[in-house]
Structure 1
Amino acid sequence: MTEEKGQMVRLEIDSELANTTLVAMAVRGLCAMTTLSPVEVNRLELCVVEIVNNAIEHAYGHEKGHKVEVGVNLLQSSLLLTISDWGEPMDESKLGAKDFPVDPDDPSAWLCSGRGLPIVQSLMDKVEYQSVGNKNSFIMSKQIRS
C-alpha cells in the first residue's frame, strides 16, 4: 500500500468479542472526519468488526487475554485500516477465494456465517494480508472523495 503521510490512530483491545463494539465506535468517530457517506461508514464499520472478530475467533480461538491492534490511517485520498494479531496466521488462500459472491447492497447476505472475507473484499477497495514473524496484519483501504 502507499506510503502517503496522514493522521494515524492506533487502538488496542483484548481478544474478547464484546470489545469489537469499542473499535467499531472509534472507527465510526474517525470516519466523521472524512467525506464518506453514512452508508460507506456503516460498511467500513462492518468490515472492521468482521476482521477483528476473525482475529479473536480464528487467530486466538476465542481465548481472552491477547492483543488485537487496529490502526487507522486517515490519508488525503483514502482511509487505511490495519488489524493485527499475534495468533494463528490466516490461510492466505482464503483471501483470493470468491466462493460466496456477496451483493454489497443486500445487507441480509451479510448475516450468513462464513462470508466475512467475501463481504470485506466486496465492500473495501483494496485488501491485503501479511504475516511477518509472529504478527499477522489484515490491511484494507477505502478511497475518499476529495
Structure 2
Amino acid sequence: METRYQHYDIRLSIDSRLEQVRVLSGALRGIGKELELSDDQLGQLELMMVEAVNNVIEHAYEMRGGNDVRVRVEYTPEVIHLVISDSGRTMPDTLHSEARDMPDPEALPEGGWGMGLIHLLADSIRYIRDAKGNHLHVSKQLV
C-alpha cells in the first residue's frame, strides 16, 4: 500500500510532565503507522523523541509542569525530522556536540544516556537556541 501524500508537517504539544510523554509517544506511533514506517524505523524515532522530551522535562524545566514541550514531525518519503522545542534552560554544548559515542558511565553523575542514544540512532542532530527557545533537530533517513 502506498502512502497518498509525499510530505507531512505535524505539530504536537504537551505540558512538561513526565506522565504526558506516554501520550505523546502513542501519538507518534499513530503517525508512524499512518506513514507506513517499519517497526524498526518507528521504534528508533520513538526512542529518540522520548529521550529528548524527557531531557527537556527533567533538565530544561527541572521537572516543573505548566510549560510547553513541542514536537514537530516533518516527513518526506526519504527522511523524517523531529524538532523538539522548549523555552527552558539551554542544553550544555557538550550534550549536543557532534560526538556520536555513548557517554562513559563512570563520568556521568546522573543520567546522560539520552543524548548518547539519540546520537547513535540519528543521522543528523542540530541544536539551535533563538528568541523562541531551544530546538533540537533530529533527522533519520528512511531510504
Measured in 2, the distance between the counterparts of 1:125 and 1:98 equals 10
Counterpart for residue 116 of structure 1: 114
Measured in 1, the distance between the counterparts of 2:34 and 2:78 equals 13
Task: Note the residue ranges of structure 1 that are not aligned, 5 or more in a row.
Answer: 103-111
The percentage of counterpart residues that share the same residue type is 35
Q: Is the 8 A contact 1:12 1:70 kept in 2?
A: yes
Change in CA separation of 1:93 and 1:113 when aligned onto 2, cut-off 3 Å: closer
Is the counterpart of residue 23 in structure 1 residue 17 in structure 2?
no
SS in 2 for 1:13: strand
The alignment's C-alpha RMSD in Å is 2.0
1:98-139 CA distances to partner (integer Å, 9 max, x unpaired)?
56369xxxxxxxxx9321101001011111100002510001
Q: Structure 1 residue 43: deviation in Å?
A: 1.6
SS in 2 for 1:22: helix
Q: Is the 8 A contact 1:92 1:129 kept in 2?
A: no
Measured in 1, the distance between the counterparts of 2:116 and 2:102 equals 6
Measured in 2, the distance between the counterparts of 1:101 and 1:64 equals 28
Task: Note the residue ranges of structure 2 that are not aligned, 5 or more in a row.
Answer: 1-5, 105-109
- For normalisation by structure 2, the TM-score amounts to 0.84
Q: How many aligned residue pairs are there?
A: 132
Matches within 5 A, 1:34-113: 34-96=35-97, 97-98=99-100, 100=102, 113=111
- For normalisation by structure 1, the TM-score amounts to 0.82
Q: Is the 8 A contact 1:34 1:144 kept in 2?
A: no
SS in 2 for 1:64: coil
Q: Which amino acid counterpart does residue 126 of structure 2 have in structure 1? A: E
Measured in 2, the distance between the counterparts of 1:7 and 1:40 equals 17
SS in 1 for 2:11: strand
Change in CA separation of 1:35 and 1:131 when aligned onto 2, cut-off 3 Å: same
